């Protein structure tokens, strides 16, 4: 066993230890030692994906990913791996990409050694039983059925379809009943035999990268990993490569008109380019994506917005590997923008011409990508983001690093392409030159094209047509496009220069109520865990007039969208610099800010000023109204299980309205209606504020005073305090014990063959003892429910048993989506499962019961990973009105007396 000496670049704030090791079988692994972790995790990335599928067996790599979960020679009980993980407070999953398949899990610390042993069997001696083959082919098919009406899946496959047929990019990747059962059988092939052959030929240790995240000592975990993974066969299999681009000349200079499922229009402009992975230290696609995707004044998006043609724009590299890559610009169009497609493409190429004329700007590269010597104290965006990154759950961390290990040299396994540091105008210029009219593919989506296309993509049934667009045609669009003042972005004033940490006088464990008045309440929680120069601010404006009717709810929605629309050019710079904000609506509206604390106050004051001086711009109102209308119209295309969950909320929660009512009133609303409504909306309000992180208490109090001064205490105040009768309460319908309620509803999308059931069991109001019993039941029942209803009975790919909380009212829900059974039949299967499971619950041994209790204790001991996670937990207590910030401590106390609740659990 060898150990590499190369130093791995890690963040300045990262206290973990990393050790790279190569086992004798050539398996490369990274051990991450974190003494403070609450959970252990592992990820195995196998350098084999759907590109390696044999012809005529599309989806075989994905099918193999499913089958490895069943059982192994060492652990021959079906589904025992997933059951073990769940019973020890963990989770597990996998995904298949084009050239990689990633398997991963996390688990409580005391269960890690056995979990890792079970996991290792995937790659040593798995059993893929014949009787499971048909079940899991059906599961793959059910997964594909779920995707058939998803525009994301459909449009991605269409871009793959319009490429060279002999290139693996052209392939259908997920597989279905036809590719894994019907066609192989017709050819005399046994799918399971082909599966075993595929595994044997491709799953070689030298193509695997393993990341293990643990609290154990290096010596112990190194011996453990070597013992468990040294038996993986190494056949010295070569990595998959297919030199050459997937797009030949016939696939370039094309305009593809295509019909999406959802309402709305979209342009996807795509160029084949040199993969950035070969020049990730120079960051050419990152540099160009930053400029073309910018939203500040003078940007392409700003100009399109001024004309009322676009509601969103993004740019950057996609679908990349070592052999090929695409640079993609995606533009969400308004109805007016759809009519000006040629002008929009012309403006895009005008902006690219601007970049050509301006040359590659060193100051922009330095500002975004590397530490800038010109501004001395300024740290670049990417550098600051990496060195002050939030700690994430171990399971997410290991998946990302295991993938990086397949692509990057060892020193950059943690950084990936996130830290470009070499300014090379020639490298950036090479990619910029590839963004030319003679190299472009334009995909134009709109339901307006329905009935005007002549081709159909075979896997998803997407209607489309193709026409050639020559260089000269596009140059004509450029010449006829509006002559607007496109220019490069200004220097970013939001890049933080003060990253110091505030002194916390007292180690406060929970939020404290710093102040309360007739105007506001301020909750405050200084950072005592994360030592990161970031803050979280939530301001919830309770506005009773927001929920008076469907009209007022829609107008409140449009108001929040317009606020963000007005702020966008200015606040986009803050978001680039790592200071994010969002304005949302419910029974009023909420402002949320998260990021570096240094300049957060500047952004907050700007948002408050926009609220105070809000005026309705008729042209922007029309655009936002159109966008909101399409948003409501597209809710009918939600997955059936999502529709069922919406109906469940309507039944349970007081003062909720179906979205169809919102859609009905929208056409009647005009700009003057909003102009009249906003003063009414703001006339009576109370705001609840939560401030956390690297902010001192006097700063938090100053923020609240500023908001009060602007909104409540100006000479002509916008806001008045609420009357006592206007303070809102959350109410949930109480379901009577022993009574079953059945609410059937027809699916809104007649083309969707899936049906769904949400089987909800209400448990009761917030009560520690009741909560603990519910948590224990959910833990014990989760995996058996999934195994029985999904794996054995094959009701549907989407099968879950989860806890539910409605304003502090606890419950349990089965969520199942199916193409083989209707909701009534699914409901009977759920009831049958509960009856059988009740017997198993009564037969549970004391040791099994104690094991589950211990798993939950470990889960409760788990610390928050970052400021966002901690703040979300505490804000939920404030928002629900339960205010049990010490909830985990009390539940822990109950777990320690768990044997007393065993009879009640049964």
> Which of the residues are catalytic?
65, 136
Q: Cα–Cα distance between 380 and 143 in angstroms, integer?
A: 42
Report the distance separating Cα 368 and Cα 485, nearest Å.
Answer: 23
773 phi and psi angles, rounded to 5 deg: -65, -40
Which pair of structure tokens corresponds to residue 73? 């020679």
The residue among 523, 496, 497, 529 whose CA lies nearest residue 511 is: 523
Q: Residue 56: left (phi > 0), alpha (psi -120 to 50), or beta?
A: left
Among 102, 103, 101, 99, CA closest to 171:
99
In DSSP terms, 232 is beta-bridged to none
Query: Quick one: which H or E segment has residue 399?
Result: helix 394-407
Rg of the chain's alpha carbons, rounded to an integer?
A: 28
Q: How far is CA 226 from CA 71, 219, 395, in A?
A: 22, 11, 21
Cα–Cα distance, 531 to 18 (Å, whole number): 21
β-sheet with 799-806: strand ranges across = 755-764, 809-818, 799-806
Q: Would you state the torsion angle of the CA atoms of residues 63, 65, 67, 73, taken in this order, to the nearest 10 degrees? A: 150
Angle at 835 between CA 829 and CA 838, to 5 degrees: 135
Maximum separation of any 2 CA atoms in the chain, in Å: 85
> What is the Cα–Cα distance from 93 to 65, expressed in whole angstroms?
10
CB environment 116-134: b (16+ within 10 A), e (fewer):
bbbbbbbbbebbbeeebbe
DSSP single-letter state for residue 317:
E
Give per-residue burial for 289-304: e unless 16+ CB within 10 Å, then b: bbbbbbbbbbbbbbbb
Q: Which of 492, 207, 542 is nearest to 378 (CA)?
A: 492
Closest CA to 276 of 319, 305, 247, 242: 319
Is the Cα dihedral 453, 454, 455, 460 positive or negative? positive
Separation of alpha carbons 642 and 153, rounded Å: 18
Task: Enter the tokens of residue 530.
Answer: 């994360």
Residues 6+ apart with CB under 8 A from 449: 257, 258, 259, 463, 465
Q: Within 10 Å of residue 319's Cβ, how many Cβ atoms?
A: 18
Starting at the edge strand that comes first in sequence, how are the strands of the sheet with 17-22 ordered? Answer: 2-3, 17-22, 28-33, 208-214, 39-46, 101-108, 91-96
First to last CA, the chain: 50
CA 752 remoteness from chain centre: 24
- Token duo for residue 700: 């938090």
Number of CB atoms found within 10 A of residue 376's CB:
8
Retrieve residue 799's tokens: 């099968």
d(CA 386, CA 375): 19
Structural tokens at position 703: 């923020």
Concatenating the DSSP letter of every residue in 481-496 gives S------PPPP-TTS-
> CB count, 10 Å around CB of 602?
13
- Asked whether the beta carbons of 411 and 55 are under 8 A apart, the reply is no
Q: Helix and strand tally (H, E) in the chain?
A: 31, 25
Per the document, the length of the chain is 906
């Amino acid at each position: 066993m060898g150990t590499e000496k190369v130093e791995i670049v890690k963040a300045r704030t990262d206290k973990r230890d990393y050790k790279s090791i190569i086992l004798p079988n050539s398996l490369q692994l990274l051990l991450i030692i974190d003494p403070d972790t609450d959970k252990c995790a592992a990820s195995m990335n196998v350098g084999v994906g759907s590109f390696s599928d044999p012809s005529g067996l599309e989806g075989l790599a994905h099918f193999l990913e499913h089958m490895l979960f069943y059982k192994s020679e060492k652990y021959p009980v079906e589904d025992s791996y997933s059951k073990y993980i769940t019973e020890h407070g963990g989770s597990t999953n996998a995904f298949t990409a084009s050239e990689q398949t990633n398997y991963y899990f996390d688990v409580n610390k005391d269960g890690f050694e056995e979990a890792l042993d079970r996991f290792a069997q995937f790659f040593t001696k798995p059993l893929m039983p014949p009787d499971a083959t048909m079940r899991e082919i059906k599961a793959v098919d059910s997964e594909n059925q779920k995707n058939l009406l998803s525009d994301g899946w459909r449009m991605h496959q269409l871009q793959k379809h319009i490429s060279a047929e002999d290139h693996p990019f052209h392939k259908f990747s997920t597989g279905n009943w036809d590719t894994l059962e019907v066609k192989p059988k017709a050819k005399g092939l046994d799918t399971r035999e082909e599966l075993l052959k595929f595994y044997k030929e491709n799953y070689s240790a030298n193509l695997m990268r393993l990341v293990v995240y643990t609290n154990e000592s290096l010596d112990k975990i190194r011996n453990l990993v070597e013992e468990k993974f040294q038996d993986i066969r190494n056949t010295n299999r070569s990595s998959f490569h297919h030199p050459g681009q997937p797009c030949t000349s016939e696939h370039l200079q094309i305009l593809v008109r295509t019909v999406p499922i959802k309402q709305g229009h979209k342009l996807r402009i795509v160029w084949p380019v040199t993969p950035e992975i070969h020049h990730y230290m120079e960051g050419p696609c990152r540099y160009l994506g930053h400029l073309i995707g910018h939203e500040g004044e003078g940007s392409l998006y700003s100009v399109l917005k001024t004309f009322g043609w676009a509601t969103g724009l993004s740019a950057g590299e996609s679908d990349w590997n070592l052999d090929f890559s695409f640079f993609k610009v995606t533009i969400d169009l308004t109805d007016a923008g759809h009519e000006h497609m040629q002008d929009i493409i012309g403006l895009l190429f005008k902006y690219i011409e601007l970049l050509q004329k301006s040359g590659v700007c060193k100051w922009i590269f330095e500002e975004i990508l590397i530490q800038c010597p010109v501004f001395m104290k300024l740290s670049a965006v990417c550098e600051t983001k990496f060195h002050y990154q939030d700690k994430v759950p171990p399971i997410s961390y290991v998946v990302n690093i295991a993938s990086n290990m397949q692509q990057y040299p060892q020193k950059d396994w943690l950084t990936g392409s996130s830290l470009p540091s070499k300014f090379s105008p020639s490298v950036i210029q090479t990619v910029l030159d590839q963004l030319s009219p003679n190299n472009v593919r334009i995909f134009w989506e709109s339901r307006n094209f329905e009935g005007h296309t002549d081709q159909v993509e075979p896997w998803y049934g997407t209607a489309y047509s193709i026409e050639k667009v020559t260089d000269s045609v596009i140059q004509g669009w450029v010449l006829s496009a509006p002559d607007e003042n496109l220019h490069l972005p200004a220097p970013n004033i939001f890049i933080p220069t003060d990253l110091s940490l505030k002194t916390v006088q007292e180690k406060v464990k929970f939020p404290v109520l710093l102040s309360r008045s007739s105007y506001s309440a301020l909750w405050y929680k200084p950072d005592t865990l994360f030592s990161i120069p970031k803050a979280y601010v939530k301001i919830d404006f309770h506005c009773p007039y927001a929920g008076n009717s469907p009209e007022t709810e829609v107008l409140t929605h449009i108001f929040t969208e317009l606020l963000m629309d007005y702020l966008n050019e200015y606040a986009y710079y803050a978001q680039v610099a790592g200071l994010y904000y969002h304005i949302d609506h419910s029974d009023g509206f909420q402002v949320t800010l998260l990021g570096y604390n240094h300049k957060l106050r500047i952004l907050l004051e700007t948002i408050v000023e926009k609220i105070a001086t809000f005026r309705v711009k008729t042209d922007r109102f029309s655009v936002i109204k159109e966008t909101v209308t399409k948003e409501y119209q597209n809710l009918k295309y939600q997955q059936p299980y999502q529709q069922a969950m919406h109906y469940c909320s309507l039944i349970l929660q007081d003062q909720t309205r179906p979205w169809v009512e919102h859609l009905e009133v929208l056409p009647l609303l005009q700009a003057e209606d909003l102009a009249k409504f906003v003063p009414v909306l703001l006339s009576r309000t109370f705001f609840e504020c939560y401030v956390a992180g690297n902010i001192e208490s006097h700063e938090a109090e100053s923020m609240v005073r500023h908001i009060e001064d602007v909104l409540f205490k100006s000479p002509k105040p916008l806001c008045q305090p609420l009357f006592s009768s206007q303070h809102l309460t959350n109410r949930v319908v109480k379901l009577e014990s022993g009574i079953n309620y059945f609410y059937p509803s027809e699916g809104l999308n007649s083309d969707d063959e899936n049906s769904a059931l949400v089987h909800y069991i209400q448990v009761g109001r917030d009560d520690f003892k009741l909560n603990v019993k519910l948590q224990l039941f959910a833990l014990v029942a989760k995996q058996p429910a999934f195994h029985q209803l999904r794996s054995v009975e094959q009701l549907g790919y989407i099968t879950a048993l989860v806890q539910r909380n409605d304003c502090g009212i606890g419950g349990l829900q089965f969520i199942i989506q199916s193409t083989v059974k209707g909701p009534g039949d699914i409901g009977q299967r759920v009831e049958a499962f509960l009856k059988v499971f009740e017997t198993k619950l009564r037969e549970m041994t004391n040791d099994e019961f104690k094991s589950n209790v211990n798993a939950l204790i470990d889960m409760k001991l788990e610390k928050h990973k970052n400021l966002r996670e901690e703040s979300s937990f505490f804000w939920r207590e404030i928002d629900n009105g339960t205010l049990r910030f010490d909830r985990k401590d009390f539940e822990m106390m109950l777990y320690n007396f768990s044997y007393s609740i065993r009879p009640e659990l049964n």
